[in-house]
Amino acid sequence: MKVNQATIDLVKKWEGFKADAYLCPAGVWTIGYGTTSRAGVGLSVTKGMRISETEAEYYLQKGLDKFAAQIRPHITAPINENEFGAFVSLAYNIGPRAFIGSSALRHFNAGDLARAADSIKLWNKATVNGKRQVLRGLVNRREDEVRLFQTPAPAKPFEVTDVAPKKERSSPAQSTTMQAAGVQVLSGAGTAAGAISMLDGRAQLIAVGLAAVVMLAALWIMRERLKKWANGVR
């Protein structure tokens, strides 16, 4: 399941682009759009580091895709792209492990969307100067995530179903229509042969006549199928 643009825009809005590494309120070195070393996207963030906005977008996308892949197997209820995006944004902010153990996920999997939305709002605290406290920025971010969570989206479930591609036929003989017609021809021929060997007189003529009708119908079907093949219908 891919992360939609609404989710990317939401994360960009709240993380904000910062070219120079900085300490977030929790005391973790962060850069770009909220990327940290713990994100595991191939970037070790240290004091004095500087990156471009293009690089920041690259690491943001990697981080979102990684977190999306980590949380997706734990979502067992049907989900649309906006609900999923809200969860990805939350996981990007609090970490996938915290999200997987959250009441937001538990209520969602139980089918209680209202309680799931309320539970998203609970993640509004951070440790600042050794104390756990509510941060206005986190409160506002959670409200945006809930807004995305509750925004109508394509019908559930937002899934990609793997369907084996249909193989193009290389000859008319591979057509099921041609194969069925061939069976009819053989069946008609068999009926005619049986009539000649086992029946006499008028019954023989009737059986041979019926067999001929079956064979002619099958041959007509085969002719029509060959015409379609010649016109590119495979």
- Catalytic residue positions, numbered: 15, 24
CA distance 68 to 39: 12
- Are 90 and 74 in contact, with CB atoms under 8 Å apart? no
- 20 bridge partner residues: 50
DSSP structural state of residue 173: G
Q: How far is CA 19 from CA 12, 141, 203, 216, in A?
A: 13, 21, 95, 79
- Are 15 and 90 in contact, with CB atoms under 8 Å apart? no
Alpha helices in the chain (DSSP H): 5-15, 53-71, 81-94, 96-100, 103-109, 113-120, 136-149, 176-198, 201-230
First to last CA, the chain: 33
